[in-house]
Each structure stands twice: as C-alpha cells, then as structure tokens.
Copies of this chain bind each other. A is one copy, B any other.
Amino acid sequence: MIDFMEEAFKEAQKALKKDEVPIGAVIVKDGKIVARGRNSREKSQNALKHAEIIAINKACKRLKSWRLDGCEIYVTLEPCPMCAGAIANARISKVVYGAKETTSEDNLCELILKSNRLNHKPKIEYRENKFCKDILQDFFKNKRKK
C-alpha cells in the first residue's frame, strides 16, 4: 500500500532541492494520487504557489470539477489559512497533515475547517511525522546560519 504522507514528503524534498520552504502535498481519490504539489513561492514569485493550492488546481483540472468530494489531501505541514480555506472551498473530504505549525498562537487552520460559516467541513487528522518536521526545521536552521 502506498504511504501517501511519504509521497507528500517526496514533494517537499523536491521543493528543498529548489531552495524553497520544503512543503509538499498529494491529493488522493479512491486510493490513487490524482494531483501533486510542492511549494514554489520563491521561484515563481507568486504568493499563491503553496503546495496545497498547486495540488488543488491540478486536481480540479484533472477531475474537471471544482468539487473534490471524496478526495483526501495529504500535506507535510498544517495548512495556512489560505490553503485551509481552499481545501474547504473545494469540498475536500479529509486533510491529513504531518507537522504542526510551530508559530501558531491561535489555530486558524482548525478554526477555518471547523467553522459553521463554510458550507463544508473536511475531517482533519494530525499524523505526526518526524521527517516532515525535521526537513522544515533543518531548512530554517541552515537559512539562519547563512
């Protein structure tokens, strides 16, 4: 069986090779990966190019629908508000993330995904993953050294 978080992590590794903040995501439907994404904000110079947004964009195109019902997204880091909102807007059924955002005072991701305001509430699962956390910590440690 495919470990989807490992697949998301591979995307994070590809981002790292491009000197981007190493975050990756995959979208899964019926046990198959339908879209992949990795953070590419710096290279693209585009604030929207987070791993989740890239994956959602691809999944909508591939499935020819803005409704990603029945899809799950695996992402190496807890989604930011933009990405959490996009996940809810796309009606994704479930979010699994591998590392927690360490700077969060208020958990905006949970607030957004559990809000009654939005028409859809995806399930959320934090599946702690040392690799997803370490790749980010090492990235920022190296950045600070330079």
In the complex, A143 has a CB within 8 A of chain B = no
**Whole-angstrom distance from the CB of A53 to the nearest CB of chain B?**
7
Copies assembled: 2
A66 partner residues in chain B, CB cutoff 8 A = 41-42, 44-47, 49
When the two chains form their complex, are residues B80 and A82 in contact, meaning their CB atoms are under 8 A apart?
no
Closest to A103 in B: B117
In the complex, A106 has a CB within 8 A of chain B = yes
In the complex, A116 has a CB within 8 A of chain B = yes
Cβ < 8 Å to B, chain A residues 69-105: 80-86, 88-91, 101, 103-105
**Count class of interface residues, chain A:** 35 or more
When the two chains form their complex, are residues B112 and A105 in contact, meaning their CB atoms are under 8 A apart?
no
Can you sample 16 A-B contacts with CB below 8 Å?
A42-B66, A44-B60, A46-B60, A46-B66, A47-B56, A47-B67, A47-B86, A48-B56, A48-B90, A50-B89, A80-B118, A81-B85, A82-B82, A82-B89, A106-B115, A108-B115
Apart from A50-B89, A83-B85, 6 more pairs, CB < 8 Å: A82-B83, A82-B88, A82-B89, A106-B111, A106-B115, A112-B112
